[in-house]
A and B are shown apart, each in its own frame.
Chain A
Amino acid sequence: MNKDTKVLVQGITGKEGSFHTQRMLEYGTKIVAGVTPGKGGESIYGVPVYDTVNDAIKEHDIDASIIFVPARFAVDAIYESADAGIKLIVVITEHIPVLDLARSLKYAKEKGSRIIGPNCPGLIVPEESLLGIMPARAFRKGKIGIVSRSGTLTYEIAEILKDYGQSTVIGIGGDPIIGTKMQDVIKMFDEDENTDEIVLVGEIGGTMEEEVAKMKLEGKINKKIVAYIAGLTAPKEKRMGHAGAVVYMGMGTYESKVNAFKKANIAVAKTPFEIKDLL
């Protein structure tokens, strides 16, 4: 993604869609079209609105789509974008039922689309393009790549690292099933010439962090990684907010993640503020 990425907003006339369309435009993101069924022909902040994604792609070149559609209709929005051949689909919507999501993610993958999210803050290349809901104040151009399972915690950590600046920041979302995993993003950062060091923001639940540790241990990642895991004080088997942060069957505890990182020589910060000292 860069300043030339052409973006479609699905759910552009809704409360969140319109608000964040304006924010993204202010940031410099090239939003070329929007979709809201029944609102085709209107325009919002100068962006033309279409009834369907297919109508929009007839009139515009589109590289990426961002979905603000409410949870009940968001899965259909994913299918629609994938069918239209859009290569990058960012799903901001939270609370999408997981089985519906699992089916649609598999479908989109088969169609060749990459999904970021759902329930994610999106991604940002500071001072170039924002494809998401991240508050601009936290980000500055630099050489640190950040990948995170948590939205607001990402803003917090980006701001703490403002003096270093960031190459790209990706919030992959905290749901149990997501389109793009931490391992994929870490691999991309490792190959990205604009990224010098990687910050990984994880939380309890799931095993993605352990998988990253394994990749590092096996020498598949060359760049330095500093990790932070939220949930040190979270009680087991209790769900901490969104569906991802729960320890089931003893998998993905705070300890198992931290131990995996230590074994792989990945520095682990105890608090978000300690990340700065470990870079």
Chain B
Amino acid sequence: MKLYEYEGKKLFSRVGIPIPKGILTEDKVDWSGKAVVKAQLLEGGRGKRGLVKVTDNPNEAIQEMKKLGISKFLVEEFIPHTREAYISIILNRDLGEPIFTLSKEGGINVEEAKDTKQFVVPLERGPKQYDIIPMEKYLNVNNLSSIINGLYKIFTDYDAELVEINPLAITEDGKVYALDSKVILEDNALYKHQDLLKELNREYSSDNYVELDGDIGIIGNGAGLTMATMDLVKLAGGNPADFMDVGGGANREKVKECVIKVGSNPRVKKIIMNIFGGITRCDEVALGIIDAYEIIKKPIFVRLVGTNEEEGWKLLESKGIKYYEDPLVAIGDALRS
């Protein structure tokens, strides 16, 4: 679950990472002097879209952005600085250890940065002074302790997937401030952090649905098979409208919910469903499809094989829903229809 900038900064200030003074607002602010007005959206690239404004009149900037449909703003003091840098922490997949990535350039896409350096900090011990010294030398600043310890604390205490400061401002007198925050919490661990969710007034939403810009609804079980189905549809000349993975061992309710979600997208003209049951049982899938079909009433091309397939086929047949064993035939029929 991605946090808003202001939510990430709430965590930053809790663990002692220095941030500019700021106010979250939906309308007017009482402000004097130079300010930075930042639209609070979950998408990146705000700067390029004119949604971060340095101004002496924050209320005017707010009114302008409101016209673009934005409803939440963070107004912050402007921090004059001489340099910008980048710091993030993620779990390195190969090592199974947290890894800090530092760059001398801030505000960039880190994959395009020329000068980056990575520092591994084993989970057993967390960051020590002798980890931080080489990081400070690399960025040529003196006081990274609060930043590094704070990032590590958020990463481990809240089960984050990514905690990123970009840019990190370095002022003329050598102070550091996190000007922006990017925090992604791990969905699988959110159950441990109910207090935080309540405090932020956020609800968990699953990532098993990704909307795309085509017109053919795609549903599969398992991320790999669902992606492969999208790829097959695309290679056959169709345009996927989404990625929807019903997940492992989906039951009737879950399948129904997924088919309705995909089918309710007005752009979706037909649905291709590709199920190979292992832990998922085809009879449960069939029941879910039947329930949803009566509600969405869009053509659905179901490829259904695997665990309890015969029970599943019988159920679909009894409702006159055609099923396939071969996914290519199902996709072919769907694209021709």
Contacts and interface: CB of A to CB of B under 8 A. Distances in A.
A240 B210 contact: yes
Interface stretch (B168-176, B221-229, B315-323): B221-229
Contacts of B267: none
A174 B111 CA distance: 23
Nearest to A99: B159
Interface stretch (A56-64, A78-86, A226-234, A257-265): A226-234
B123 A231 contact: no
A162 B192 CA distance: 44
A249 B247 CA distance: 26
Contacts of A271: 228, 231-232, 235
A267 interface: no
Nearest to A179: B96
A148 B305 CA distance: 19
A82 B101 CA distance: 33
A206 B93 contact: yes
B306 interface: yes
B228 A230 contact: yes
A106 interface: yes
B188 interface: yes
A151 interface: yes
A272 interface: yes
B123 A103 contact: yes
Interface string B156-197: 100101100000000000000000000000111101100000
Interface residues of A, number: 67
Contacts of A206: 93
The winner among B90, B96, B280 for most chain A CB atoms within 10 A is B96
A153 B225 contact: yes
Interface string B217-245: 00011111111101110110000100101
Interface in B91-116: 91, 93-94, 96-97, 101, 109-112
B97 to A, nearest CB: 7
Interface in A154-188: 154-156, 159, 174, 176-177
Contacts of A135: 276-278, 305-307
B29 interface: no
A273 B223 contact: no
B111 A250 contact: yes
Contact of B245 (A204, A233, A241, A249): A241
A224 interface: no
A250 B108 CA distance: 13
B208 interface: yes
B152 to A, nearest CB: 11
Given A148-B224, A239-B210, A248 B248 contact: no
B93 A241 contact: no
Interface string A172-215: 00101100000000000000000000000101101100010000
A235 B224 contact: no
A231 B245 CA distance: 13
Given A177-B93, A248-B90, A97 B223 contact: no
Given A96-B188, A150-B223, A102 B97 contact: yes
B263 interface: no
Given A135-B277, A150-B222, A152-B222, 9 more contacts: A119-B248, A137-B309, A152-B221, A152-B275, A211-B94, A235-B210, A240-B223, A249-B101, A271-B231
14 contacts: A98-B189, A135-B276, A138-B306, A150-B224, A150-B225, A152-B221, A156-B276, A177-B93, A206-B93, A211-B94, A237-B44, A241-B208, A243-B186, A250-B112
Interface of B: 44, 90-91, 93-94, 96-97, 101, 109-112, 123, 156, 159, 161-162, 186-189, 191-192, 207-208, 210, 212, 220-228, 230-232, 234-235, 240, 243, 245, 247-249, 275-280, 305-307, 309, 327-328
The list of the 9 closest CB pairs from A to B, nearest first, reads A150-B224, A241-B223, A250-B111, A152-B222, A97-B189, A153-B224, A152-B225, A230-B227, A241-B245
